[in-house]
Amino acid sequence: MPATNARKILTQSLQRLGYALLLPVSILPLAALLHRLGQPDVLDLAVLSLAGQALFSQMPLIYAVAIAFGLSRQGQGAQALAGAVNFLLLGSALNTLVPGLHADMICGLLAGLTTAVVCSWARGLRLPGWLRPLQEDLPGMLLSALACLLLVIPLSILWPLLEQGITLLASDLLTTPIGAFCYGVLNRLLIPLGLHQVLGSLMGLGESNLQALSTAQPLHEGYVAGLYPVIMFGLPGACFAIWLHRQRMRQVPQGGLLLTLALTSALVGITEPIEFLFAFTAPWLFLAHALLTGLSLAICSALGIQVGTYFSAGLLDMVLSYSSGQHSFWLIPLGILFFVLYALLFSRLLEHTPLSLPGKPIAEDLPQLATVAPTDPQMLAIQYLKTLGGMDNLQAMNVCLTRLSLRVREMALVDQSCLARLGCLSWIVLNEHQLVLVLGPNAGLIEGQIRMLAERQSVPLGLEPGQAPLGQHQ
């Protein structure tokens, strides 16, 4: 049992880290667009190019702030400030002790993590009465700064060796077809756990990617080119196969929904809405998707196709990265091949693997689907609250791009049969108190509306669905 609890705590901690890493990653599209628009062959505005490059060069600082803020219990601004200060302390002290190290990114990650852990621990400390007004922020800020300074000595000894290992992994092993295949499979398999951002950030710690960031060049050019055929073509092919399958089975085809998901993946590289359709309800489809991703990366590596990514691998990223890549054109015919592969393979697998989309016959389901999912965001949030058992049943909520993680008092009060009619793409019940709703682009909007309704009713909603409230034991 202790081993099980430790494994659960470790998984939840890594998931929270993965969610926190999404904050700095969300800055990359803006930085890439500014840098590209400022180039001489586009708008020829040096100020835009310099602004984009400035954002890239300060990514370690942005990582420190985002991780410290993202891992804070209630999103405290003081903890985000402490993350920035601790990064400056750690980076300056390390550079003074061992000049010339390429350690900015690891300093950003460590400063953010150390700040979050120490500040969380420091809130339990009891201060003398005359210091009680400073109980919330001061102890954590001081102790986290001290902890970061103490990290300088072991980091100065260990980091040169670790950087050599990461550089070897990213520059030599992952650039081979076998290495690229393994990276692609692992990258997709980690998505349901929210840990793929941790893997991507680990690969970005080496010297080559730090130099790429400082010059605003796409990252991981040697092995991530294979993501483009999968994200721009393969997953839309999977949506096409699902649509055909539902037509064959005389079920509601959900053509508009699937087209939206396909365009979201192809244009901007957001794949989670599609992947969460079958990640839990049809694991064989997800395993096939992971293997095909690895195959695409391996083929691109073998053919010498090198096109990096700034933030995703959609059409927008390809336009920004195309000119700096090698053999970029061959991604198009390869993508068409993967569209056909995904469509054929998913069509075959769907004959044996069900999905969690509404499955009633067309004649029974269409009258209901025509009158659900109100367009007004507040009304839609109210409908979701009713489906979740009311405000009193909701304990904690957190949004991560396209999905909403929830903690409820009683899962029996959640009417899962109504979720699909409200536009929920898919949902996963993790345990007797926690579930995840895949809502697509509406996730942040619905979360904001529910929180606003909770504030009006003076109902406290936490930010950590994976953590049991005080006094509740699982």
Task: Give me the tens of pLDDT residue by residue for the chain, a chain 474 residues long.
Answer: 455 566 666 666 666 777 777 778 778 778 888 888 888 877 888 888 888 888 888 888 998 998 888 887 655 678 888 999 999 999 999 988 888 787 888 899 899 999 988 888 877 777 666 555 555 677 788 889 999 999 999 999 998 888 888 877 777 788 889 989 999 999 898 887 767 777 777 776 665 666 666 666 777 777 889 999 999 999 999 999 988 888 887 666 567 778 888 988 999 888 887 887 787 777 888 999 999 999 999 999 999 999 988 878 899 889 888 888 889 999 999 999 999 999 999 999 888 765 655 443 333 443 444 344 456 778 888 888 889 888 888 888 877 667 788 888 888 889 887 887 787 766 777 778 888 887 766 777 888 888 888 888 777 776 555 555 444 443
pLDDT at position 74: 56
Question: 101-139 burial string, b = 16+ CB within 10 Å, else e?
Answer: bbbbbbbbbbbbbbbbbbbeebeeeeeeeeeeeeeebeb
- Domain 377-457 fold is Gyrase A; domain 2 (3.30.1360)
pLDDT at position 92: 92
pLDDT at position 191: 83
Provide the greatest CA pair distance for the chain: 73
pLDDT at position 127: 64
Closest CA to 262 of 314, 194, 340, 327: 314
pTM comes to: 0.73
Measuring CA to CA, how many Å separate 4 from each of 147, 219, 280, 351, 360?
29, 37, 21, 36, 39
Closest CA to 264 of 321, 214, 313: 313
In the numeric block, which tokens belong to residue 108?
């950003």
* Alpha-carbon torsion (227, 231, 233, 238), positive or negative: positive
- Measured CA to CA, the distance from residue 57 to residue 190 in angstroms comes to 28
State yes or no: is 107 an active-site residue: no
Beta bridge partners of 397: 406
Quote the Cα angle for 99-118-157, to 5°: 25
CB 276 within 8 A of CB 192: yes
Closest CA to 121 of 144, 151, 103, 104: 144
Closest CA to 65 of 125, 112, 29: 112
pLDDT at position 341: 96
In the numeric block, which tokens belong to residue 440?
């697509």
pLDDT at position 135: 56
Written in H, E and C, the secondary structure of 261-329 is HHHHHHHHCCCHHHHHHHCCCCHHHHHHHHHHHHHHHHHHHHHCCECCECCCCCHHHHHHHHHHCECHH
Q: Residue 369 is which amino acid?
A: L
Distance, first Cα to last Cα, the chain: 12
In the numeric block, which tokens belong to residue 277?
């359709």
- Map out the domains of the chain as residue ranges: 1-123+136-174, 175-358, 377-457
The one catalytic residue among 239, 300, 400, 424:
400
SS3 category, 333:
helix
Beta bridge partners of 404: 399, 437
Residue with tokens 């393979």: 345
- Measured CA to CA, the distance from residue 432 to residue 270 in angstroms comes to 29
> Rg of the chain's alpha carbons, rounded to an integer?
23
Neighbours of 180 (CB within 10 A): 26
